[in-house]
Chain A
Amino acid sequence: MASSVGGLAVRVQEEPQRAAPVALPAFADIVREHQGMVFSLAWHYLHDRALAEEMAQEVFLELYRHIGSIQSPEHLLFWLRKVASRKCIDQTRRRVFWPKFGLDEIPEPPAKLRQSDPLLSRALARLVASLPEKARMLVILRFQEDLDPSDIARVLDMPVGTVKSQLQRSLDVLRDKLARTVGEIAL
């Protein structure tokens, strides 16, 4: 069976673990196309640039080994999100991950912040990185990848109801923490 992934003819194999049916230059194109998405998932989740790059590389190495099982560009995107999410969560479980910052370290804003204020974005990104494992990934998939709760549920193998309730709870926590961090910001 043949299908097209990233403009490449990819043969779907019975045993995807065997030699990948894609040439290295063509695979490099796939990497370049999706590296921003995979790296950003890891970066926003781990908040450690070196670790995020390492993690993103591992995702693409795993993709190379499984490229034969990818059936369409949509499947590729789904696969990358799923594997990147799983690897990030595993990583935090493997080495007990403590965020390298506390709420006290987040700088106080000098004045009322505007919507696109980089200080606010940094503070928010750090607050997201301090959420519990699954909740953190839910928020990242929702607001980085703009996925619906049903898509997030498929990526993380969770019930849709749980995704919705955890998202709501995470937003409440973030709103509360942000209010405490930046004081008078109008939410």
Chain B
Amino acid sequence: MSNLEDDLRLALRREEPSLDFAERVLARLSEPPAVPTWRQRWAVLMRPPRLQWAAVAVVLSVLIPAGTVQYQKELRYRAEGERAKAQLLFAVRVAGSRLHQAQRKVLETSRPGTRL
């Protein structure tokens, strides 16, 4: 066994508390249980690790509604985009068919022997 381990045993040997320790424990046992005030209850919440959980809860309570709103906004934008795309395709199709008709007319009128 190393000297360090022996030294640690000496350094960490048991010590007695103050002489009236047991009497003070008994005195506390006979005290009526204290009802915590709202301030004390709040203070308990503010101690780590409870504080960490409270912070996580606050962050989540902000992030979840914000995320939900953002997601709904995204869905709305996407739906509007789809609608605009459909309208554009429809317009392109209409324009295409008009263009096709006009082209046919032009070809018919430019044929030799065609009277204007």
Interface residues of chain A, those whose CB is within 8 Å of chain B, are 24, 27-28, 31-32, 35-37, 39-40, 43-44, 52-53, 56-57, 60-61, 64, 93-96, 115-116, 120-122, 124-125, 128, 139-140, 142-144, 146, 171, 174-175, 178, 186-187
Contact = CB atoms under 8 A, between A and B. Distances in A.
Given A35-B16, A93-B48, A120 B7 contact: yes
Interface stretch (B25-33, B77-85, B104-112): B25-33
Interface string B65-107: 0000000000000000000000000000000000000000000
B2 interface: yes
Interface string B1-16: 0111111111111111
A187 B25 CA distance: 41
B21 interface: yes
B5 A53 contact: no
Given A57-B28, A124-B12, A178-B4, 14 more contacts: A24-B30, A32-B22, A37-B14, A39-B15, A53-B18, A53-B21, A57-B24, A61-B28, A120-B7, A143-B5, A143-B8, A144-B13, A144-B14, A187-B3
Interface of B: 2-18, 21-26, 28-30, 47-49
A28 B12 contact: no
Contact of A31 (B10, B12, B22): B22
Is chain A's interface secondary structure helix, strand, loop, or mixed overall? helix
6 contacts: A24-B29, A37-B14, A93-B48, A94-B48, A121-B7, A140-B12
A60 to B, nearest CB: 5
A163 to B, nearest CB: 16
Contacts, number: 98
A140 to B, nearest CB: 6
A58 to B, nearest CB: 9
B57 to A, nearest CB: 19
B18 to A, nearest CB: 7
B15 A43 contact: yes
Contacts of B49: 93
B30 to A, nearest CB: 8
B12 A44 contact: yes
Nearest to B44: A94
A115 B7 contact: yes
Contacts of A27: 26, 29
A56 B26 CA distance: 13
A44 B14 CA distance: 9
B29 to A, nearest CB: 6
A95 B4 CA distance: 31
Contacts of B15: 36, 39-40, 43
